[in-house]
Amino acid sequence: IEMTTSRFGARLRVGVETYGQARSAAAVPGPVAALRLADGTWFGGSRLFGDTKLAGWSARLMAKGPVFGQVEYIYSYEDGNIVKLTARLHEGASGLYWETKVAEDRPKDGVDIVLSEGLPPLTLIIQREAYNDRPQIKDARWGAWVEIPLATYGKELVTHLSPWADWWSTWTQTSVRLSIGAQGRELHLASHDPGAWVEPAAPGTMRSWGAWQHKLVPVKRGAGREIHLRVNNAAGLRKWTIEDREPAYAEQRRMSLAQVKAHWPPLDEVKDWILDWPTDGRACPQLFVSRQDMRAAWERRKPDPAIIRTASYIAREKIRPVPSYKDAQAVEGYLATKGDPEIAKKVRLTDRVRQHMGALGDFDKMRHTQTVAALYDLMMGTDLITDADKRLHRSQMAFLGYILARPSTWDIERGYRSYNPNMSLSYLLARGIAACAIPDHPRAREWVEPGLRRAEMWLKEVGPEGEWYESAHYSQVSAFAMASFAVAAQRTGFRNLFLNENLKKWAMWLAQIYTPRDPMAGRRSRRATPPIGRATAGVPWGLFGLMAKATADTDPQYSRQMQWAWAGTDYTRNTANHLGGFEPIYMDPALPMAAPGWTSKLFPQMGPLFRNGVGDKHENYLIVHANTGAGARLSEVGCLALWFARGVPIAGSFPGGYKERHQLLMSRVIPALSWREGEPWDESRFGCSTDVSMAAFSALPWQDYFAASYAIKGWKGGRYGTPANPVSWPPVDGAAGFPMSWRRRMLYVQDDKPDGPNYLVLRDSVSGGKPSLWQMWTVSKKIATPQQAQDVEAVVADEQGRKAEQAHPLRGNRFTALGQFNVDVDYYIAAPLDTQRWTMRWGQRYVDYNVQGEDYRDLLQLRLSGNGDYFVVMFPRFRAEAAPRFATLGGGSVVKVTGEFGTDYCFLPAEEMEVTVEKVYFRGEAGSVQDRAGVVVLATGAAGEVRSGEWGLSAPQAASVRVGGRRLVVRLPYARQTGGEVTLRAAGKWRPATEQAGVTLTTTEGGCRLVLAPGVVAAVLERR
C-alpha cells in the first residue's frame, strides 16, 4: 500500500503469511518497500535480520485518512516472541512515525530500515559534545556542527538514535542528521516520548545508563555505501520518526553547552495541562523570603555600593538570550536600592521576566530554574507588571513545572541522568523549586515530592563525618542546591529539611575542609575549597551564610559556627544564583558568630586533616586525600592535597581540577612514569586502579598520626585533557609493573603555637619489587641545595617565576623549597640514600569562577627501583629562622630534629619495633619526644611505649603526656569516646590536680596508672 502527502510518503507491505515450517529472517519480507521524499524521490527499503526463525507475519491497514494513514504489523517468531510495529503518516507531517512493541528481549533479531538506496551519498552531521570521542571532531569547538561523509566512512557503526539527549557523547543523538548529497535536504531520524522507551525503576532509584542504552537504535554502514537503521528486538516500546527536513530545522533540536535539550511537548499532551487555577492568596515574594523579610532587611542595612555598581553595569548590557547570573544581579540591584522603580527600569526587570518566562523552559534548567523562579517570585509581588502579565507568567511557571517533570528533561528512575550526583540533585530539586514558586498549583505536591523523597535518600548517604561523595567543589554545588531547596520547601510548608542532622553535618564538613585564608593570586585572602577531586579549587561559596540563617533559631551554636565560616569567605554571596538574587536579603552578615575549636580529624571517606591554630593568622592545615570518597580521581588516592604552614600554602595539588589531577602532578608515590615534550600527553595513565586500606589515626594536642595502604593493580585512564604548556618530566630508567603496593604513614608534629615548629615526617613503604617515584609539589620559587640556600636572595632573584623549567637532577639529602610567601620548607631525606633526586617546575594561569592567577610550583622527585622506603622530613619555617639540623638514628627508624626550639625525636619505623637512641626509648609503630623550653612531651601514635630520661608513657592506644613544672597533662586522642588507660613512669608521687570525674589513678612502682572513663580524654596530675 502507498501512503503519501506533499511532504513525505511510504510504500508499506500489507498482507498475512503463516508458515507451516518456520522461515529464516532473510526469507520474510520487511515492512517497508520504499520511502518518498518531498521532491518525489523514492528511496530505501527494509529487511529482517537475526537467527531466530519466524512462524508468520501480518500487516493490516488500520486507518486510511484523511488525517492519517496507519499500518500495523505483527511478526511472530518461532520461540514465541511477538513484535508489533506501527507505521503512521500524518497529513502535513514531514516524516513517517514508527512504534515498536516487543514482548521478549531478543536484541539479536530485528529489522533493518535501509536509508541510502536510491539517494546520493549521505553525510552525518553531528555536534561536538563534551567528549572528544571521534577523530573528526577533535578541532571543533563545543556545540559546533561537524560533517562526516559516510561514503568514505571506515567504521560499521555510524551513531545511535537515543531516547534521551545526553551532552557528552557524539555517538548518541535524539535527532540524527543525514545530509542528502548536495540537495540542501536532510533525513532526520528522531526519537519521541522517551518515557515510553524505558520502564521506570522504583521511585528514587538512581538507575544506571544500561536501561536506556539497551534500547539505542544503531545507524550502521553496510556493504557498499548502504546506510541503515538497525531496529533490534529489545523488549518494550520505542517511538521514532524518519523525516525529510531542511537543515535549518536542526537548530531547533541542537544541543547547548551542558544542557539537556528536552523534547518539545506535543499539543496532545499540553492540552491536559492545568495552566490556570484559583490562587490561595499568598503574597509574593514567598519563595526564599517574605515581603516582611525584605522590608526588615531594608530597614536594618545600608545599600551595598558594590551591588549598585554592578546593577549600573548590567543596565548598559543587552539581556542575554537565556537566563544567567546577570538576571540575579538585576534582582540584587533592585533589592539593594530598596525596590527603587527607577533601578527596576534601568536593569529591565520587566523585560527579563517577560523574556525568560516566555522561553517556556527552553534554557539550562539545571542551573537557572532557581534564577527564573526567583525573578518570577519578585515580580509577582510588585506593581512593575500588570495583572494580565501576572496571570500570564503564572501560567508560564506552571508550564515550566510540567516541562521539568517530563522524562525528556531528566529522569533518574529511567537512567536519563549523568553520573554526577550534583546534576541529578540540581534537576530534581529545580522541579521542586518550580513547585514552591506556585505552591497552590494542583500538581505542586506531585512536582515537589520526588525532590523531597530523593533529598531524604541523599541525606542518608552523607558520610559519618559529613563527607559527600563528590569533589570539594561539586560537594558545595550539591549542598547549595539542597540547602536552597530546603529554604523554599520550609517556607512553603512542604517540609523542614533543616531539621535533618545530616544536612547540617554536610555543610559542617565543607566548612571544616575549607582552607585558611589563602594569599595565592586570585584567592583574595579568603577561606575556600581545597583541591579535593575534580573542578577548580580556591572557590568560596555562600553556603555557610545560608546555613547560619536557616539554623539561627533551631540550633544557635551551629549557626554561630556557620556564620564564622561565612565570615572567613568575606561574606561572599556567590551561590551560583541558587537564591536568584535574594542572597542579600536572606543571608545576614550581622548574625552572631563563634570561632570553632576544630582540631585534627579523620574524615573516614576522605582522609585526615591535620590542623593547628584555626582562625589564627599563622593557621596550620594539612589535608590528605587518602581514601576514595569525596570524588577522588584514581590519581589522587593517598596524595597530600594541600598544606598550609604558618598561614600560607606551601605544598599540594594545583587548583585546576581536571587535567591537573594527572598522577604526574600529585604529591604521592606513583609507579615509574614520565613524559617528554613532543609526545602525546598520556591520558591512559592518568591514574591507577587502586584498593585502599585505611589504618591507624590519632590526633593529640602535640602529635597526629595516620597510616593507610594502597594496592595498585594497573593503569587507569581518564579523559580530562592536557595541562597547558607541559615540559619534560624526569626520565625514568625502569618500566612500571603491577601489582605494586605502598603504605603511607604520616607523623605530624605540632607546637603549642601556630607559628612554632609544626612539621611532617613521612614514611612511604613500597613493596612488589617494581620501580616507583615519590613526588612532592611545593608552592615555592625554587628547590635549593644547601649551598644555594646560603644566599637565598641571589637564588630568589634568579628563580624562574612564572615559567616552567624542565627536569634536572639534584644531589644530596638536604634541600630547601624557597616559599613564595616567606615560609620555606626544609627537606631531609633519611631514605633512600643512594638513588636519584630530580626537580622540575611547572604551572599555568587559571581563570575559573573568578579565581584567576598564575600558579607555578616545584617538584621534588625521589625514586626506588624496587622494594624500599621513602623516609622524609618536611620542616616549614620562616625564612629568617635558622634551619634545623637533622640526624637519622636507630637503624633508620628515628629522625632527630634539633633547632632553636629544642630537640625532637620522631619514631616512624618500617615495621613495629623497639629501639633506644641516646636517652630515648620507643616501642610500637609511631611516636615522638619533644624537649622544648623546659617542657617535655611524650606521645605514641598507636599502642606503644615512649621513654625519655626519667619520664615514660605506655598505653594500649595512642596517648601523650606533657611534662611541665609540677604538672603532668595526659591526653587521649580527641575523638576517642571509649576511654582508655595510660601507664606513666614518673619520679615522685602524683595525684589528680582537681576533682576530675571519670579519672582513676593507681600508684605503681616508679609511677602510676590512669584509667579514663568513656567520654574522658584528658587528665591533669600534680605532685603531692
**Tens digit of pLDDT for each residue in 460-504?**
999 999 999 999 999 999 999 999 999 999 999 999 999 999 999
Residue 798 confidence (pLDDT) above 80: no
Q: Give the confidence band of 574 by pLDDT, cuts at 50, 70, 90.
A: confident
Residue 731 confidence (pLDDT) above 60: yes
Q: Nearest Cα to 889, choosing from 920, 862, 912, 861?
A: 920
In the chain the first and final C-alpha atoms are separated, in Å, by: 110
Query: Cβ distance 480 to 575 under 8 Å?
Result: yes
Share of the chain above pLDDT 70, in %: 98
Query: How many Cα atoms are found within 13 Å in the side-chain-facing hemisphere of 167?
Result: 20
**Tens digit of pLDDT for each residue in 217-233?**
999 999 988 999 999 99
| Mean pLDDT score, 314-326 | 93
Helix residue ranges per DSSP H, 855-928: none
Query: Cβ distance 159 to 172 under 8 Å?
Result: yes
Could you please report the per-residue DSSP string of 437-500? Answer: HSTTSTTHHHHHHHHHHHHHHHHHTS-TTS--SS-HHHHHHHHHHHHHHHHHHHHTTS--GGG-
Gap between the Cα atoms of 105 and 84, Å rounded: 13
Q: Nearest Cα to 779, choosing from 608, 621, 645, 626?
A: 645
- DSSP letter, residue 661: G
**Tens digit of pLDDT for each residue in 1007-1019?**
999 999 999 999 9
3-class secondary-structure state, position 825: strand
* Beta pairing class for 82-90 and 999-1004: unpaired
Q: Give the confidence band of 433 by pLDDT, cuts at 50, 70, 90.
A: very high
Gap between the Cα atoms of 704 and 611, Å rounded: 9
Q: Which residues contact 620 (CB under 8 A, 6 or more apart)?
A: 610, 611, 612, 613, 644, 645, 646, 750, 754, 758
**Tens digit of pLDDT for each residue in 168-213?**
899 999 999 999 998 889 999 999 999 999 999 999 999 999 999 9
Predicted confidence at residue 254, as pLDDT, reads 62
Grid coordinates representing 968 are 603532668
Share of the chain above pLDDT 90, in %: 87
Query: Cβ distance 125 to 106 under 8 Å?
Result: no
What does residue 473 show for φ and ψ, rounded to 5 degrees?
-65, -50
Predicted confidence at residue 260, as pLDDT, reads 56
Could you please report the per-residue DSSP string of 531-574? Answer: S-SSS-SS---SHHHHHHHHTTTT-HHHHHHHHHHHHTTTS---
3-class secondary-structure state, position 142: coil
Question: Which helix (H) or strand (E) segment is 898 a member of?
Answer: strand 894-899
Edge-first strand listing for the sheet containing 885-889: 885-889, 894-899, 902-907, 927-932, 935-940, 959-964, 967-971, 1018-1023, 990-992
Task: State pTM to two decimals.
Answer: 0.93
Helix 501-513 / helix 444-460 crossing angle, nearest 10 deg: 60
Gap between the Cα atoms of 357 and 904, Å rounded: 67
Q: Which residues contact 700 (CB under 8 A, 6 or more apart)?
A: 939, 958, 959, 960, 971, 972, 973, 974
Q: Greatest CA span in the chain, whole angstroms?
A: 110
What domains lie within the chain, and their CATH numbers?
2-261 (2.70.98), 291-586 (1.50.10.100)
992-998 LR contacts (CB < 8 Å, sep 24+): 992/1019, 992/1020, 992/1021, 992/1022, 993/967, 993/1020, 993/1021, 993/1022, 994/1020, 996/1020
**Tens digit of pLDDT for each residue in 988-1012?**
899 999 889 999 999 999 999 999 9
| Mean pLDDT score, 625-642 | 95
Gap between the Cα atoms of 214 and 574, Å rounded: 41
Neighbours of 356 (CB within 10 A): 27
Grid coordinates representing 864 are 626506588
For residue 690, list its beta bridge partners. Answer: 712
Gap between the Cα atoms of 609 and 625, Å rounded: 9
**Tens digit of pLDDT for each residue in 700-713?**
999 999 999 999 99
3-class secondary-structure state, position 392: helix
More confident residue, 724 or 115: 115
Helix residue ranges per DSSP H, 276-364: 291-300, 305-315, 325-336, 341-346, 349-358
**Considering Cα of 382, then 385, then 390, then 393, what sign does the dihedral take?**
negative
For residue 767, list its beta bridge partners. Answer: 741
In this structure, which amino acid lies at residue 709? S
Grid coordinates representing 92 are 502535513
What does residue 559 show for φ and ψ, rounded to 5 degrees?
-60, -40
The burial class, CB within 10 Å (0-12 / 13-18 / 19+), for 988 is exposed
Predicted confidence at residue 39, as pLDDT, reads 95
Residue owning grid cell 524505558: 198
- DSSP letter, residue 411: B
Query: Cβ distance 751 to 830 under 8 Å?
Result: no
**Tens digit of pLDDT for each residue in 39-55?**
999 999 999 999 999 99
